[in-house]
């Protein structure tokens, strides 16, 4: 999704913006741009494509200014062109605006502004904001008042960076899209996410909904957009190091993040029991429980639903957040919605949370980003322990979410030590899976799979979510069509897809489910499938066998690592960039 960086300070800020935009690349984008205010004018540079190879000194040596904003754009309104890239300027070129979100009523606003003589150069919704602020400045003296008056007319969502060449002010504002304000020694920063400026400061304020920050060289004010009142906001010190947000010597974030999984599991074991108890209280009080999330986080939620059913005798209804609106009217007071999200900014998840709360239900969030919108909205939250995840594909966040469900389930049963013990064993197992020789073996297998048009995966019960997640990973990063099925569904249709040499990953077990999943493996093998077994016991039906230790309900937390690695190595075989797959964004902040 779009990324925003802003700087106002003593130094020349253009390099701060370019570095920050490079750090936000993981969010996914198709073009980028920067604006710098200097000597009473605003300079703009925009480009279609990636910012990775751009060198400010070499490519734009004269570009400078100490009030700057930049943006990586993921096109929504208007094609991928330089004109549509942000920043956008007002007619008098006094105001430059970058925006993440959607101005839903932009067409009406644009028509009104055109009637007043404003000339538009792009097809974007964002450009109306620059002109609207310019219009308001005709009657409002201060930029902050013109911005507030403009935002009152806007329907939709926004994180905004605004600079004014005349008043030498930068403004950040948010509603529905994330924006963080940084306080450094040499200046002030804006970012869609902390890595944008973590190199310069770890002191941040997470702007809340309907909040804006007015930044001047001498200081800043946090203001409520609706009332205009100044707000006292907490400055938070971020514990992540910049190295944490970088590749740590690995060729890609994806492999770096997969290699961190033993540590992630270890950190989860250390979760504060009071945090778990707060969550457990919400669960105990709930009449009905739902788990709502998107993509990989939904698969983790599905794992949680199986775990709470099998280990805690709790009925939990999983719903994809995008489909939640069609069930929302059935949510009642005393119900609990458990949400799972890496970013805590997924628009569909936030929408579901707001509607569940409006119906009187409580919301518990398993979320990875401190200060995220989801964390702020939820009635209770547990911070998952993945740390910063940069690769667009979610790997370590998934494992951390599954591991957190394991801790929660054990806590609910009053047997926290059982959860910790299992997770320690899982950690050991993941470490073994990630050993060099094993990686070589998986790479060889991935080479075999890299030329096929389809891959399938089968799992039953608690392994079913992993069959879905494996195929999501494979399709996201290798662009090979992949589908996961529940073993029991095989004969109800999917088996028609099986023909000679079709690879099928089978998540097997060594418990009462074993017989059934092995039968499924036999059924696909009888139709020519190339069967890859992942589980605690080998079987003659497997052509390839990838071992995991038997850890009961917790085994899937380790076995998923094989599929993540297979997906990664297929991408490498196909010479694809695993960190930034086409068309995908790290956090989906628009519906
Ligand atoms: O930030 P969230 O966990 O809420 O994101 C949910 C999905 O968008 C995300 O998991 C997506 O499916 C990833 N691309 C998976 O790799």
Catalytic residue among 256, 473, 525, 586: 586
Take atom 11 of ligand 1 and give the residue whose Cα is closest: 295
**Distance from residue 297's CA to the centre of ligand 1 (Å):** 6
Domain end residue (candidates: 385, 409, 434)? 434
d(CA 399, CA 394): 9
**Distance from residue 397's CA to the centre of ligand 1 (Å):** 9
- From 394, 402, 564, the mutation candidate for ligand 1 (largest count of ligand atoms within 8 A of CB) is 394
Take atom 16 of ligand 1 and give the residue whose Cα is closest: 393
Q: 146 in a domain, yes or no?
A: yes
d(CA 205, CA 379): 21
- From 302, 346, 586, the mutation candidate for ligand 1 (largest count of ligand atoms within 8 A of CB) is 346
Take atom 7 of ligand 1 and give the residue whose Cα is closest: 295
Q: Is 297 in the pocket of ligand 1 (CB under 6 A)?
A: yes
Total number of domains in the chain: 3
CB 366 within 8 A of CB 339: yes
Q: 521 in a domain, yes or no?
A: yes
Take atom 9 of ligand 1 and give the residue whose Cα is closest: 295
Catalytic residue among 2, 294, 391, 471: 2
Q: Are 147 and 170 found together in one domain?
A: yes
Active site (annotated) includes residue 391:
no
Among residues 120, 188, 109, which one has the least CA distance to residue 150? 109
Q: Which atom of ligand 1 is nearest to the CA of 294?
A: 6
Q: Are 64 and 124 found together in one domain?
A: yes
Q: Which atom of ligand 1 is nearest to the CA of 343?
A: 1
Q: Are 146 and 80 found together in one domain?
A: yes
Q: 83 in a domain, yes or no?
A: yes
Take atom 12 of ligand 1 and give the residue whose Cα is closest: 295
CATH number at residue 263: 3.40.50.10490
d(CA 159, CA 279): 30
Matching residue, tokens 């957040």: 321
**At CB < 8 A and 24+ separation, what contacts does 150-156 make?**
151/175, 151/212, 151/225, 152/225, 152/226, 153/105, 153/109, 154/103, 154/105, 154/109, 154/129, 155/103, 155/104, 155/105, 156/101, 156/102, 156/103, 156/104, 156/105, 156/106, 156/125
Q: Which atom of ligand 1 is nearest to the CA of 342?
A: 3
Q: 190 in a domain, yes or no?
A: yes
CB 34 within 8 A of CB 87: yes
Range of the domain at 502: 436-582
Q: 109 in a domain, yes or no?
A: yes
Q: Is 202 in the pocket of ligand 1 (CB under 6 A)?
A: no
**Cα angle 447-450-455, degrees, rounded to a multiple of 5:** 120
Q: Are 390 and 520 found together in one domain?
A: no
3-state secondary structure of 171: strand
Q: Are 499 and 418 found together in one domain?
A: no
**Distance from residue 213's CA to the centre of ligand 1 (Å):** 29
Q: 444 in a domain, yes or no?
A: yes
Q: Are 178 and 311 found together in one domain?
A: no
CATH number at residue 161: 3.60.20.10
Q: 546 in a domain, yes or no?
A: yes
Q: Are 445 and 457 found together in one domain?
A: yes
Q: Is 475 in the pocket of ligand 1 (CB under 6 A)?
A: no
3-state secondary structure of 142: coil
Q: Is 296 in the pocket of ligand 1 (CB under 6 A)?
A: yes
**Distance from residue 131's CA to the centre of ligand 1 (Å):** 35
Q: Is 401 in the pocket of ligand 1 (CB under 6 A)?
A: no
Q: 589 in a domain, yes or no?
A: no
Q: Are 406 and 537 found together in one domain?
A: no
Concatenated DSSP letters for 545-563?
EEE----GGGTHHHHHHHH
CB 316 within 8 A of CB 289: yes
Q: Is 373 in the pocket of ligand 1 (CB under 6 A)?
A: no
Dihedral over alpha carbons 111, 212, 321, 461 (to 10 degrees):
150
Q: Are 230 and 313 found together in one domain?
A: no
Q: Are 113 and 204 found together in one domain?
A: yes
Domain end residue (candidates: 209, 243, 277)? 243
Write the pLDDT tens digit of every residue in 321-357. Answer: 999 999 989 999 999 999 999 999 999 999 999 999 9
d(CA 291, CA 150): 37
Predicted confidence at residue 29, as pLDDT, reads 79
Active site (annotated) includes residue 586:
yes
Residues of the chain where predicted confidence (pLDDT) is lower than 70: 1, 27-28, 243-246, 248
Domain end residue (candidates: 216, 243, 270)? 243
Q: Are 527 and 442 found together in one domain?
A: yes
Write the pLDDT tens digit of every residue in 409-420. Answer: 999 999 999 999
| Residue 109 CB contacts under 8 Å (≥ 6 apart), including other chains | 103, 128, 132, 153, 154
Q: Are 162 and 301 found together in one domain?
A: no
């Amino acid at each position: 999704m779009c990324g925003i960086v802003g700087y106002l300070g003593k130094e020349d800020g253009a390099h701060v913006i370019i570095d920050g935009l490079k750090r936000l690349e993981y969010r996914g984008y198709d073009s980028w741009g920067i604006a710098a205010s200097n000597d009473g004018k605003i300079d703009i540079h925009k480009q279609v494509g990636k910012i990775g190879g751009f060198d400010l000194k070499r490519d734009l040596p004269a570009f400078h200014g100490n009030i700057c904003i930049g943006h990586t754009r993921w096109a929504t309104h208007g094609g991928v062109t330089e004109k549509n890239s942000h920043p956008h300027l007002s007619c008098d070129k006094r105001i430059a605006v970058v925006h993440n979100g959607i101005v839903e009523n932009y067409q009406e606003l644009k028509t009104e502004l055109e009637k007043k003589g404003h000339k538009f150069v792009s097809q974007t919704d964002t450009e109306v904001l620059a002109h609207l602020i310019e219009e308001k400045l005709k009657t409002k003296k201060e930029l902050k008042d013109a911005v507030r008056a403009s935002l009152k007319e806007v329907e939709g969502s926004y994180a905004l960076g605004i600079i004014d060449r005349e008043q030498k002010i930068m403004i950040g504002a948010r509603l529905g899209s994330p924006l963080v304000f940084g306080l450094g020694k040499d200046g002030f920063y804006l970012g869609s996410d902390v890595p944008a400026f973590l190199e310069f400061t770890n002191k941040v304020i997470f702007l809340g909904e309907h909040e804006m920050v007015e930044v001047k060289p001498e200081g800043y004010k946090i203001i409520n957009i609706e009332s205009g009142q100044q707000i006292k906001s907490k400055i938070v010190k971020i514990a992540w190091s910049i190295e944490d947000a970088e590749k740590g010597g690995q060729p890609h974030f994806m492999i770096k993040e997969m290699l961190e999984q033993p540590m992630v599991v270890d950190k989860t074991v250390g979760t504060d029991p009071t945090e778990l108890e707060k969550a457990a209280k919400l669960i105990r009080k709930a009449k009905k429980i739902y788990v709502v999330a998107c993509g990989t986080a939904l698969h983790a939620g599905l794992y949680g639903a199986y775990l709470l059913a099998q280990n805690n005798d709790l009925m939990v209804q999983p719903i994809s957040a995008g489909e939640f609106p069609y069930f929302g009217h059935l949510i009642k007071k005393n119900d609990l919605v458990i949400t799972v999200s890496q970013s805590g900014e997924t628009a569909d998840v936030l929408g579901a949370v707001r509607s569940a709360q409006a119906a009187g239900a409580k919301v518990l969030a398993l979320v990875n980003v401190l200060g995220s919108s989801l964390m702020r909205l939820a009635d209770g939250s547990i911070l998952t322990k993945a740390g910063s995840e940069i690769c667009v594909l979610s790997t370590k966040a998934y494992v951390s979410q599954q591991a957190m469900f394991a801790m929660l389930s054990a806590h609910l049963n009053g047997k926290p030590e059982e959860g910790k013990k299992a997770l320690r064993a899982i950690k050991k197992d993941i470490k073994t899976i990630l050993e060099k020789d094993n990686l070589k073996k998986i790479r060889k297998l991935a080479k075999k799979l890299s030329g096929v048009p389809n891959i399938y995966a089968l799992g039953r019960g608690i392994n079913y979510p992993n069959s879905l997640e494996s195929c999501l990973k494979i399709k996201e990063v290798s662009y090979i069509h992949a589908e996961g099925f529940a073993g029991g569904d095989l004969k109800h249709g999917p088996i028609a897809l099986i023909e000679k040499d079709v690879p099928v990953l089978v998540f097997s077990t060594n418990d009462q489910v074993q017989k059934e999943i092995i039968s499924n493996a036999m059924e696909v093998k009888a139709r020519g499938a190339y069967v890859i077994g992942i589980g605690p016991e080998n079987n003659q039906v497997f052509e390839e066998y990838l071992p995991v230790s038997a850890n009961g309900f917790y085994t899937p937390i380790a076995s998923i690592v094989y599929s993540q690695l297979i997906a990664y190595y297929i991408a490498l075989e196909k010479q694809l960039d695993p960190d930034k797959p086409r068309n995908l964004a790290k956090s989906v902040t628009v519906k």
